[in-house]
Structure 1
Amino acid sequence: MHPTARDLGEGLPRRVEVLAGLSVAIDLGLGQPAEHMLRSAILACRLADRLGLTRDQRATTYYTSLVMWIGCHADSQEYARWFGDDIAVRRAAYLVDWTGLPFLRFLLGNVARGEPVAQRLLTTAALLRDARGQLGALMHSHCLSAAALAHHLGLPAEVEQAVTYTFERFDGTGLPQGCQGAAIPIEMRIAQLADTAEVHHRLHGVGAAVAMARRRRGGHFDPDVVDALLTSPAEVFADVPDSDAWKAAIAAAPDAEVRLDPAGLDLLVCAIGDFADLKCPFTLGHSRAVATLGAAAGELMGLAPREVRALRRAGHLHDIGRLGVSNQVWSTPSRLTSSEWERVRMHPYLTDRVLSRINGLEQERTYARAHHEHLDGTGYPVGMSGAALGPGERILAAAVAYRSGLEPRPYREALDAEQAARRLRDRSAAGHLDPECVDAVLAAAGQPAPRVARDDALTPREREVLGYVARGLTNRQIAEKLVLSEKTVRNHVERTYAKIGATNRVGASLYALGHGLVATGVGGATA
């Protein structure tokens, strides 16, 4: 069989298009409308030009602005622990200068947001015992996570370095390091102003954005960067041609014409799936497993190679819309309210919105947006029925359902392979899933797991502990699972981190994912 033009890379998306799609997913988790980060990148490039930055610095500024908040989504669980609705607090934080009494009032007004009064009081008391220390730890974790994810996405080392300064302030009162002035990379100093100014400009106009920049000049923001804005605010905030921020941002990219080849696209969508799965500790590795299982089932059913490849990519991308739903909802151990359930039902639609502007991923988008649709029309978000669902959509839905069963959820433990298979066949019998696709998925899941080479010298116990760490369990919870003392678990964690070169949970999670260790800590459940 001769390779098609798509197999050779023709018609595949440009690299910046995929990363721009990722930035739209970041917008979801920030509680901002789509293309906020794209508009911020445009503003940042305009400021970089006014400041006379070099071509390389401008390139770093562009991608720093595009992904500067990527680390927050890996820390959504921690945000939700302190603030309840992690998305709502991030949205509100744009309107507050993070210093002094106004910031303290903001914290007190948002601690354990949406939780019962008793829980709010307990969480507030815990935070006030050491507010700066608690927030510093959270932001330190964010910075490490952002750098790890930027590296995982293949972004330049300069961007990887810059995003570690997201919470620093020009006056040295920021977190986690308290860096001051020129110690903060100029690319991040520009990105900070562009990010905040875009929100104020969109909500209240040029005057409000200028007033905000003046108030924070010399505090949050670099005076030179603010002055570059103040000299020509109308030009900096000028609308892009045809009000098409996507098109303008793509054109402003330093590598706007670099088109991905098939292997490069595969690597990038895999990294994006890993990023989406970090939203919740219990979904770590989900998208990789769905991609592998769905593609294997597609081959068993005789799909064409290009359809199998699209199915694999869709498996990596299908859950990117989860970023638009608060962890307060995802982590609920009890029955969801109708309002919460409606938010859950939106996440495939949000996946569709993220992928909608990326040229060359049309088939992947079609598969991904239907991963919770049912043959009998009872699925979501649209309620499509069997006639509208092709083989790829049906296979992906079955792969998602089976893999989800093998994973723990806040309301249940992970199922074993036999239980997950029974659950899948029950859904098929109920008319939700295609019986043939269910058979193919189960046949694919029965393949023996590949052996993973170990070059880290981890002991079996350390691998087991790392699996639990990657799933978000605390040292105390791991100790209870393994019937060990908390001190012993802490020692295992410290030795494991030292051996693999990790500094926080996200780094350990990415290592565990890349080395086939994720299933170790979940009761032996495997695909």
Structure 2
Amino acid sequence: MKHEPVRLAEILASMSLATDLGMGLPEEHVLRQTVIAARLAKLAGFDDDVRADTFYVSLLAWVGCLADSHELATWFGDDRQIRADSYGVDRRPLTMMPFMLSHVGSGLPPAQRMAMLGRFMIGGIRDAMGTFTTHCQTTGDIADRFGMHEAVRRSLAQAFERWDGKGIPGVVAADRLEPAIRVVQIADDTEVFVRSGGVEAAVSALRSGSGREFDPALVDLAVQHAGELFAGLEDIDTWSVVIAGCAPLDRPLTDPELTSALETLADYADLKSPWYLGHSRAVGALAHRAAAASGAVDADLVKQAGLVHRLGAIGVSSSVWNKVSPWSASERERVRTVPYLTERVLSRQPTLAKIGRLASMTHERLDGSGYPRGLSATSLDGPARLLAAADCYQELAEERPGRAALLPVDRAAALQAEVRAGRLDAAAVEAVLQAAGHRVPRRVPQVAALTTREVEVLALLVRGLSTKDIARRLTISPRTVTAHLEHIYAKTGTSSRGAASMFALRHGLVSAE
């Protein structure tokens, strides 16, 4: 696939937009934080190496938050909400305890909440505090995948340490903290306070945390230059500023490196719930095999879109993904935003935007019943149809809360039923089933009880061929063609070529090929 090269910084910046979703913070929190961090590192007179470290540490510091989503949702309900609420809380273990206790069992009836509190006091406290370690380990793994050097990894491991040594795990303090993480900690908190309360609120928070959470020298510098440090954050194009000021390690990615980076994003999205681990990679692989075998669509593009099609799932609480009972109306609507959020996260860079557009069509259906846009057959090309079939098949192959994985024969039957209902494309389903190892007939059973010959006649009819031309093409008599046309119109409920064309498109019986 020919495309505009994707830079490492653009992947990390896109990932930061997904991180915003997972933390329950407004879009571009991490990007604005990175702008603040870059300004503060420059004011502090740090050398180019430390400023480069600061850039990468800022974009990656909070990516590990997803790793503990399942545990947070178990104890606190909405994992995104408790993360967002944690800003402004003194993050020492002793002061975090009342905060966590106030959120245990959030949303549950009083009796259930009291029972949950009891279980939390027995074993949940240890689990909750352990999430900080999990966060750092996950962030370190992602940093390794992107080839970050040792100084960046050291900084990321100190994300929850404090200047006064009372952080987590509490093994380094003061000047032993890496300069980059000291800057990023200040930038992270102050972005939230500037956005919610203005510069004065940020300055107040800095003074309160000086010598405790934050490096006092950096706090003094930030307070002294507050106007310059926080100027125009709501007005600037933060994406462009961050990418333009990227560090020396930035570089264009080769095609294999881009796919590898997207595999990292796939794993990142699937961390949201244990039920989905490996799902995105499996969809990408299945769609790629089906596309490569068909030869009619860009197999690499389909694979890349399959890898990232659940990136927007980061914006939905793990309590929803882990729920055994049916989703409520509001939960269902939130889930329906996942493809849209995926597209938005990837929309800032042309090549990623192309991948994101295809990924956003994973849940669209030929009859217009899908989401998020309700697109119909005329708007869904071959790659979109194939990706939808691959995701549908893989979803049925995996266990979900309250539902066992379907056997292969049942998966095939379910997809063929979707074809008959006019929701999935027949050719795409056939390709996916073959790629999944099924022995299938040359054609998946057609819709509306149309015979194979009637489908052939329909395909020529919608191209504008006359009865005589159809007869000549298929080597049958014009009278036989007329009989087939009568059956086609009766079975499809249409009475003209135009209406029959729309029916054929809707049900995937005709394509550009």
For normalisation by structure 2, the TM-score amounts to: 0.82
Which residue in the other structure is 1:126 paired with?
119
Task: Kindly indicate whether residue 36 of structure 2 is the aligned counterpart of residue 33 of structure 1.
Answer: no
- Seen in structure 2, the aligned counterparts of structure 1 residues 411 and 220 have a Cα distance that, compared at 3 Å, is same
8 Å contact kept, 2:22–2:66: yes
- Structure 1 stretch displaced more, 195-204 or 49-58: 49-58
* CA–CA distance in structure 2, aligned partners of residues 415 and 90 of structure 1: 36
8 A Cα contact 1:12 1:361, kept in partner: no
SS of 2:357's partner is: helix
Residue among 101, 104, 115 paired with 1:111: 104
* Cα offset, 1:104, TM superposition: 4.0
Task: Measure the CA separation in 1 of the matches of 2:180 and 2:217.
Answer: 13
Q: Which residue of structure 1 aligns with residue 407 of structure 2?
A: 416
Distance change >3 Å, CA 155–CA 115, structure 1 → 2: farther
- 1:123, 1:174 → 2: CA distance? 27
Counterpart AA for 1:370? M
Q: Distance in 2 between matches of 1:228 and 1:290?
A: 50
Partner residue in 1 for 2:305: 314
- Change in Cα spacing, 1:372 to 1:325, as seen in structure 2 (3 Å) is same
**Which residue in 1 is equivalent to 2:398?**
407
Moved more, 204-213 or 152-161: 152-161
Q: Which has the higher contact order (CA 8 A, sep 6+)?
A: 1
The correspondence for 1:385, drawn from 353, 376, 390, is 376
1:16 counterpart letter in structure 2: A
Q: For 1:262 and 1:416, how far apart are their aligned partners in 2?
A: 35
Q: Is the 8 A contact 1:272 1:317 kept in 2?
A: yes
- C-alpha distance 101-19 of structure 1, shift in aligned 2 (>3 A): closer
Query: What CA distance in whole angstroms lies between the structure 2 residues aligned with 1:180 and 1:21?
Result: 31
Alignment correspondent of 1:22: 15
Preserved contact between residue 26 and residue 70 of structure 1 (Cα < 8 Å): yes
Q: Deviations over 1:158-186 (max 9, x none)?
A: 22222122121211211123532223222
The answer to whether the 8 A contact 1:217-1:226 is kept is yes
Post-superposition CA distance 1:34-77 (Å, at most 9, x none): 11101111111111112222211111111111111111102110
Question: Where does residue 330 of structure 2 map in the other structure?
Answer: 339
Structure 2 counterpart of 1:292: 285
User: Relative to structure 1, is the Cα distance of residues 42 and 410 closer, same or farther in structure 2, using a 3 angstrom cutoff?
Assistant: same
Aligned pair partner of 2:182 in 178, 189, 196:
189
User: 1:245 corresponds to which residue?
Assistant: 238
Residues 190-218 of structure 1: CA deviation (Å, up to 9, x unaligned): 11110111011011110001101111111
Amino acid at match of 2:304: R
Task: Find the residue that maps to 1:121 and give its secondary structure.
Answer: helix
- How far apart are the structure 2 equivalents of 1:136 and 1:175? 9
SS at match of 1:114: coil
The answer on 1:225 being equivalent to 2:245 is no
Conservation of the 8 A alpha-carbon contact between 2:72 and 2:128: no
The corresponding residue for 2:434 is 443
In the other structure, the counterpart of 1:180 is 173
What's the CA shift for 1:132?
A: 5.9
Runs of 4+ in 1 over 6 A off after TM superposition: none
- Aligned partners of 1:367, 1:220: CA distance in 2, in Å? 44
- Tell me the SS of whatever aligns to 2:350: coil
Q: 1:243 to 1:230 in 2, by over 3 A?
A: same
Aligned to 2:45: 52
Q: C-alpha deviations, 1:461-490, integer Å up to 9, x for none?
A: xxxxxxxxxxxxxxxxxxxxxxxxxxxxxx
Q: Which amino acid aligns with 1:388?
A: S
Q: RMSD between aligned alpha carbons?
A: 2.0
Secondary structure of residue in 2 paired with 1:243 = coil
SS for the counterpart of 2:351 is coil
Whole-angstrom CA distance in 2 between matches of 1:153 and 1:115:
40
2:449 matched residue in structure 1: none
Deviations 1:234-277 (A, max 9, x none): 11101269520111111121148622221221111111111111
Mapped pair 1:77 → 2:70: yes
Match of 1:360, SS?
Answer: helix
**Identical amino acids, percent of aligned pairs:** 39
Q: CA contact under 8 A between 1:12 and 1:359: conserved in structure 2?
A: no
Query: Does 355-364 or 317-326 show the bigger shift?
Result: 355-364
Instruction: Say how many residue pairs are matched.
Output: 439
Report which stretch shifted further, 235-244 or 193-202.
235-244
Does the CA-based 8 Å contact 1:25-1:324 persist in structure 2? yes
Q: Which moved more, 1:233-242 or 1:212-221?
A: 233-242
Q: Look up the SS of the partner of 1:75 in the other structure.
A: helix
Equivalent residue number for residue 466 of structure 1: none
Answer yes or no: is the 8 Å Cα contact 2:266–2:280 preserved in 1.
yes
Equivalent residues in 2 for 1:204-283, closer than 5 Å: 204-239=197-232, 243-255=236-248, 258-283=251-276
Matched to 1:312, the amino acid is: K
Deviation at residue 381 of structure 1 after TM alignment:
1.0
2:423 alignment partner AA: H
Counterpart-to-counterpart distance in 1, 2:59 and 2:278: 25
Instruction: State how far apart, in whole Å, the 2-side matches of 1:367 and 1:344 are.
Output: 18
1:68 corresponds to which of 53, 56, 61: 61
SS at match of 2:405: coil
The alpha-carbon distance between structure 1 residues 342 and 253, as it changes in their structure 2 partners (threshold 3 A), is same
CA contact (8 A) 2:6 2:349 kept: yes
Match of 1:138 among 131, 136, 146: 131
Deviates more, 1:224-233 or 1:208-217: 224-233
Name the residue aligned to 2:357: 366
The match for 2:193 among 197, 200, 207 is 200
Partners of 1:79 and 1:364 lie apart in 2 by: 31
Name the larger-Rg structure. 2
- The 3 A distance-change label for structure 1 pair 93 and 285 is same
Give deviations 1:270-297, integer Å, cap 9, x for gaps.
1111111111112111111111111111
Normalising by structure 1, we get a TM-score of: 0.80
Residue 357, structure 1, aligned to residue 381, structure 2:
no
Distance 1:131 1:97, change over 3 A: farther
Deviation at 1:447, TM superposition (A): 7.9
Aligned pair in 2 of structure 1 residues 257, 161: CA closer, same or farther (>3 Å)? closer
Q: Distance in 1 between matches of 2:147 and 2:87?
A: 28
